[in-house]
Amino acid sequence: MKMSLYVSVFCCATSYAIMAQAVCTPAPDCASLGYKMTAADCTGQITVKCPTDTSKVFCKVKAKEEVETAAILYGDGTVTKQLLSNKTPIGIVFDEINHLAMALTDVKKDGTAGTEGIYWLSYYYDIPSLENCSNSEIPLGTNLTPISCGADGKDNTNKILACGSSCGNTPAATTANNYQPTSCVKDFCKKSNWFLPSLRDLQNIYLQKTQINASLALLSGYGATAIKDSWYYWSSTEYSNMIAWSFRMSDGFRSPNDKSTSSYYVRPVIYYSEANSVAELPILYGDGTTSKEILTDKTPIGIVFDEDNRLAVALTDVKKDGTAGSETVYWSNNYHDIPSLENCTDDSIADSISIPVTCGTDGRSNTDKILACGSGCGGTPAATAVNSYQPAGCTQNFCKKTKWFLPSLRDLQNIYQLKKQLDATLSLLNNFETTNIGTKYYWSSTEYGDTYAWTFLMDGIRNLDDKVTQSYVRPVIAY
């Protein structure tokens, strides 16, 4: 049974000898511990739940001046939120699900970077096979409901261009399709691959305008310009033979306008491949190298979570026999105080993760001491499982059996602090055997005493558990 620290330490009605010595005091209330918010107050932030009332939480709310940035698309197809000095940016990601990025700048009639008013068509024509989207499918004004009509900008643009001379002239679509940033080094971003965004694309850009403009400001040295608030942008979504949809970036106003209006802007959009993405955290490969790039000639074996101490966590949990997979195990088969292993009580490890862990922090040393106890401790399943692990991609001695260890409580907390980035990086490696961190309890190698060891709940809670309780294990390696 899982017990929060306050429940296990402050409760006097227990038969365990270690608890018999505890001084019975009322559990502190959540507010006094700093848990004064609700989940709604912390949307999008790392949230820590109060152990005695999980409806009360704590999070670090971003200051108003801290503006999140959008991911950057580079000319070689890589995507990351980092500003990479060895690559040149060509766009800003605004739709990760559909892998869409917008150009760093508006374009002029000749397809070069710059701002210039452009017609949608030179005269009135209903584009063959292009879906007509009236205000019955798309409400007018600032009603930002989801858009499903005429939503594929690439398909729309292809149909507009296919009309060719039959339509007289197609300046907006042609302009976007002729764009090619100077730093494009792969085929995906060359001429004919950029397109006129759909109305849905423009709305998605508007909904992330703050983050996008923050990234564009960082890239001003590359010619990036902010999204214009002052007027409308053309979409590739058609209304009728005379009218196409436009979008005003100042307030999110959807508007059907005469196709011959010549004062609206064009911002090209591009599709990028997910395979070209850069991981959010460094990947550890089986030859000992680390990189945020997905390297096709190497096999990943872990993800770096502590660069200072050169530690990486395995791509997967492990089972009792040390093979990849999720299976709960005991910390030890019976109660025993591991010789020379530091006991870390609630005096040395506070329940709140806002206070750093300084006791029992060396997972390698802890694991070695646990294993040395061996049969004298009646068996040490958690430490033995991780120490028996060896990933298939390991080609050097540093990552073979006996090199992996049970993380310390500090290691698990560091993993938790990077859980979002870890799970995002794991998702990029789904061609390999991986399991997400999730919200599971994991055993640490940090001991409390003869009866208890520390676990970490990946919802953000340090926890004490009976050593014969079953929790998951995730190996860690020093590289």
Q: What is the pLDDT of residues 156-165, one digit of tens each?
A: 999 999 887 7
Q: What is the pLDDT of residue 438?
A: 84
For residue 16, pLDDT over 50 is answered with no
Q: What is the pLDDT of residue 312?
A: 97
Task: Report the relative pairing of strands 100-103 and 232-238 from DSSP bridges.
Answer: unpaired
For residue 25, pLDDT over 50 is answered with no
Chain centroid to CA 273: how far?
Answer: 17
Query: Which residues are 302's β-sheet partners?
Result: 284, 314
**Lowest-pLDDT range of 159-163, 368-372, 407-411, 468-472:** 159-163
* pLDDT: which is higher, 2 or 95: 95
* Residues sharing a CB contact under 8 Å with residue 21, sequence separation 6 or more, in sequence order: none
What is the Cα–Cα distance from 63 to 71, expressed in whole angstroms?
20
Q: What is the pLDDT of residue 141?
A: 93
Give the closest residue to 351 by CA, choosing from 10, 39, 62, 45: 10
Mean pLDDT (whole number) for 49-71: 66
Q: What is the pLDDT of residue 363?
A: 97
E strand or H helix at 385: helix 381-387
Q: What is the pLDDT of residue 315?
A: 96
Q: What is the widest separation between alpha-carbon atoms in the chain?
A: 90
Q: What is the pLDDT of residue 4?
A: 42
E strand or H helix at 214: helix 209-218
The tally of CA atoms less than 13 A away on the side-chain side of residue 159 is 18
Tens of pLDDT, residue by residue over 192-234, are 999 999 999 999 999 999 999 999 999 999 999 999 987 899 9
What is the Cα–Cα distance from 320 to 302, expressed in whole angstroms?
19
Task: Report the relative pairing of strands 283-285 and 290-291 from DSSP bridges.
Answer: antiparallel
What b/e string do you get for 255-272 counting C-beta neighbours within 10 Å, with b at 16 or more?
Answer: bbbebebeebbbbbbbbb
pTM: 0.51
What is the Cα–Cα distance from 231 to 225, expressed in whole angstroms?
15
Q: Running DSSP on this structure, what letter comes out for residue 375?
A: G
Average pLDDT value over all residues in the chain: 87
